[in-house]
Amino acid sequence: MKGGDMSSVSPLVSFVLGAAMATVCVLFFMSATPARRLVDISAFTSAAPDNLTGIASSVSDSDSDAAVADSAAALASTATLAPAPAPVQAPSPWGDLEEVLARAATKDRTVIMTQINAAWTRPGSLLDLFFESFRTGEGGVARLLDHLVIVTMDPAAYEGCKAVHRHCYFLRTSNGVDYRSEKMFMSKDYLEMMWGRNRFQQTVLELGYNFLFTDVDVMWFRDPFRHISMAADIAISSDVYIGDPYSLRNFPNGGFLFVRSSAKTIDFYRAWQQGRWRFLGKHEQDVFNLIKHEMAPKLDLAIQFLDTAYISGFCQLSKDLNKICTLHANCCVGLGAKLHDLRGVLDVWRNYTAGTPDERRAGKFQWKLPGICIH
């Protein structure tokens, strides 16, 4: 029995021992895997602070860049941009003309203009007589000198002008004419001077200014503007006045000429300039007389011819000193003849202004007749 018992126990022991060994292997394997996992976790957690620092550093750098960008944007939005450089403008062919006109003009952009050369600026010459007429005139006519632009034709005249007047302009020309000396009536240089004056007047209109042009041999005793109609586009003095201010049969004189700046008066001046070549050898006053019948209706232009009772001249002399506003030494050739007769005119005017009201009303004062030209 005992031998049989031992043999029956051995298989059981073998089974138990085998199962135990298998269990130990399983437990060993299972215990080994968590350990590996713990090592991995430990390695991750030990490395985490470095990783987080890198992430934080990256976030910090991004925030810093964004802050700098925001600051730059804010600075750009508040910064004042430097102005763009002004475009370079070509110098005006007329120099400081616009500045002179603006300084002299009335509120409605009207200027009075005259034109001189060196011969007329010498002491005792026409410019002196011209100024004296304003100073001895009546009704505040002297104040109109504030709006007078003297256009000079040569450097000596320009310097002479600046010595006695505020508004002087030097009209530089390229036609080769020496304007320092007197130009004889209807000579080649005279025609160049007169047509150049006409073109200059057109420029003043194109710049948007009305003008009253007066020759320097016109004496101003009273304000002539009150005799210029508001309806007139052009108002011009008359060598011969027939009584109707709007009749084109009146004979004009361009030495006293008012023009309002407008598209139609500029067009008239263009036609006037073209007339120089249509009627070769004529001066500008004759061409005006030739084109007035054509251009006035074509442009719907109102031309007023000024009454010689008020805007007078040697051609058709007003003898009523109580009415006269201006007196022009027209129909008179030569500087010497003009000076002689205008000095006599100023002598009579001074006596007239010194007279009593009764003497003036009685017509006691009359021009000295005859003179060289005045009659």
Q: Is 7 within a domain?
A: no
Distance between CA 312 and CA 326 in Å, rounded? 6
Instruction: Evaluate whether residue 358 is within a structural domain.
Output: yes
Helix (H, G, I), strand (E, B) or coil at 249: coil
Query: Does 19 reside within a domain?
Result: no
Residue 68 falls inside a structural domain? no
CA distance 243 to 355: 31
Distance CA 29, CA 352 (A): 145
pLDDT for the residue 281: 84
Note if the pTM is more than 0.85: no
Classify residue 84: in a domain, yes or no.
Answer: no
Residue 154 counted as domain residue: yes
Do 249 and 148 form a contact (C-beta atoms < 8 A)? no
CB 201 within 8 A of CB 259: yes
Mean pLDDT by 10 residues, the chain (375 residues): 44 47 45 40 38 40 49 49 61 81 98 94 94 97 98 93 96 69 65 89 98 98 97 97 97 97 98 93 92 97 98 97 98 94 98 96 93 95
* Residue 44 located in a structural domain: no
Query: How many domains does the chain divide into?
Result: 1
Domain membership flag for residue 367:
no
Residue 365's region, left for phi above 0, alpha for psi from -120 to 50, else beta, is beta
Burial 114-130 (b: 16+ CB within 10 A, else e): bbbbbbbbeeebbbebb
Domain of residue 221 covers 96-362
Q: Are 171 and 152 in contact, with CB atoms under 8 Å apart?
A: yes
